[in-house]
Amino acid sequence: MIEKIVKRDGRVVPFDPEKITMAIYQAAIAVGGHDRRTAEAVTADVLKLLESRNVRGQYPTVEEVQDLVEQCLIKRGHDRTAKAYIIYRYEHSLKRAGEKSLTYSSDNIPYRKLWQALSWGLDHGYTSLKDVNRFIVEGRFSELVTACEAFYGNELENALQVILPRIKDMKIIIISGPSSSGKTTTTIKIGDALKQQGYSLTALNVDNYYFDLADQPKDSHGDYDYETPQAIDLALINRHLKDLLSGREIEVPFYNFKTGNREGISGRMKIGKKDIILIDSLHGMFDEMTEGIPDEKKFRLYIETLAQLKGPDGRFLRWTDMRMLRRMVRDMQFRNYKPEQTLTHWHYVRRSELRYIVPRLTAADVIVNSAMAYELPIMKHRLGHLFPGFIDKYAQNPDRQDALERAQRVQSLFEHLTAWEDESVVPERSLMREFIGGSAYTY
């Protein structure tokens, strides 16, 4: 029997199951339910899980109990009540906090964005890998694709509603985010939408401003760390931006990813009075990227794969793992880079994101969620056969511990996921086409 519980401030107090029942019951009432017996049944489920814990002499925490309530509600099919309970829990956390800092998660993502994603998943019946598999088994995978594409489309529409009121003053729209979050496609779509409003947008592709690989340092494995802002010719970007805003024409360099060198120019660029520069870059919100440009002339949009899908262990999937899989597929097809190279290089990606992106996230004017629940079965079909080999290769190599842990984590997900081969269900203008190919857009 559970006798005590640990509160958030560390105090140990008597455990009262009635408080669990009442919280569930209030959530049910919020969505039209009035059956207290169901709330009591869910409480019984929670108690059973708590009592089966293999942790002796350690009392459960409030957070642990609340996690179990969500799990048990969803397992019994009470998705709407679970949604109300999650919102109730979130709102009370903000009331307790009473300060802005807890409005953001540890990744500097506003909690509201995370709850919106989880709420959407609850409404559409996918909150876990098990749910994704169910869509495949029931022959409804195309429905999942349609729902995910609609969610992303709604994210873009919401972003436009924030951009339009400021459109007359801005001269640069920065679309930033971590690697393989979908910046390029989002840039194109935002640009197309604003052109329909009478504005002319011109994309400045920051990828063309990388320094030659010969001018960048290598690590002990011979790998280049080109994930840092310093891998980009920031001085040249700033000079070109100032020239453009002054009405002058610039010559945009061309970077050949297959050779690792800047080779000539990709084209000439000049903007008029009603033109807006679009920048899509991993480091778009890094201060030095647009140093000297007044803030009122810049709009910052951040994009990330804010997936709220739970894996077989009950934990949410890591966004960085989803993006790593995207990049593996993209780099293999378009950048002459093997999946194994992407895996062993990924620690650079994460280090750069944590150092240069996450700390600046609160400066974003709007955040777009680019996660697609349907992408994981496709990624398993494309890449699933590789990960057992990665694990075997790095199991005894202490220098590749990071790659080993990432490979093991992805493999554990793939083991509980059904692969999907038919990519024709993915729309030609989907963000996913940026990675798997076959897009109607030119990248």
Residues 44 and 180 in one domain: no
Residues 413, 418, 420, 426: what is their CA dihedral angle, to the nearest 10 degrees? -60
Residues 273 and 378 in one domain: yes
Report the distance separating Cα 77 and Cα 158, nearest Å.
30
| 181 burial type by CB count under 10 A (0-12 exposed, 13-18 middle, 19+ buried) | buried
Give the Cβ contact number of residue 32 at 10 Å.
9
Report the distance separating Cα 342 and Cα 348, nearest Å.
10
Residues 89 and 161 in one domain: no
**Per-residue tokens: 80:** 């709407």
Give the Cβ contact number of residue 118 at 10 Å.
23
Whether 295 and 288 have beta carbons less than 8 Å apart is answered as: no
Check which CATH number belongs to the domain holding 249 and give it. Answer: 3.40.50.300
Report the distance separating Cα 115 and Cα 306, nearest Å.
10
What does the pLDDT read at residue 95? 53
Residues 351 and 202 in one domain: yes
Residues 383 and 343 in one domain: yes
What does the pLDDT read at residue 278? 87
Range of the domain at 189: 132-436
What does the pLDDT read at residue 348? 86
Residues 32 and 139 in one domain: no
Which contiguous run of DSSP H or E holds residue 197? none
Residues 31 and 159 in one domain: no
Residue found under tokens 């995207």 = 326
Residues 47 and 193 in one domain: no
Residue found under tokens 């990813």 = 257
Q: Is residue 289 part of a domain?
A: yes
What does the pLDDT read at residue 102? 43
Q: Is residue 416 part of a domain?
A: yes
Whether 223 and 348 have beta carbons less than 8 Å apart is answered as: yes
Q: Is residue 361 part of a domain?
A: yes
How does DSSP assign 120-185, residue by residue? HHHHHT-SBHHHHHHHHHTT-HHHHHHHHHHHHHHHHHHHHHHHGGGTTT-SEEEEE-STTSSHHH
Residue type, 263: E
Q: Is residue 67 part of a domain?
A: yes
Residues 63 and 141 in one domain: no
Residue at which a domain ends, from 103, 120, 140: 103
Residue 106 phi, psi dihedral angles, 5° rounding: -65, -20
Q: Is residue 395 part of a domain?
A: yes
Residues 98 and 137 in one domain: no
Q: Tell me which residue of 295, 399, 331 sits closest to 179, measured CA to CA.
A: 331
Q: Is residue 115 part of a domain?
A: no
Tally of domains in the chain: 2
What does the pLDDT read at residue 67? 85
Q: Tell me which residue of 37, 39, 4 sits closest to 20, measured CA to CA.
A: 39
| Residues lower than pLDDT 70 in the chain | 30-32, 54-57, 87-103, 216-227
Whether 93 and 85 have beta carbons less than 8 Å apart is answered as: no
Residue at which a domain ends, from 58, 86, 103: 103
Decide: helix, strand or coil at residue 94. Answer: helix
What does the pLDDT read at residue 262? 93
How does DSSP assign 342-385, residue by residue? HHHHHHHHHHHIIIIIGGGGGG-SEEEE---TTHHHHHHHHHTT
Residues 52 and 141 in one domain: no
Report pLDDT digits (tens) over 97-155.
544 444 677 778 887 888 888 888 888 888 899 999 999 999 999 999 999 999 999 99
What does the pLDDT read at residue 91? 58
160 Cβ contact partners less than 8 Å away, ≥ 6 residues apart? 190, 193, 194
**Per-residue tokens: 270:** 């000049």
**Per-residue tokens: 136:** 């495949």
List the beta bridge partners of residue 202: 277
Give the Cβ contact number of residue 263 at 10 Å.
11
Q: Is residue 118 part of a domain?
A: no
Whether 190 and 301 have beta carbons less than 8 Å apart is answered as: yes
Residues 86 and 144 in one domain: no
Q: Is residue 111 part of a domain?
A: no
DSSP state of 252: E
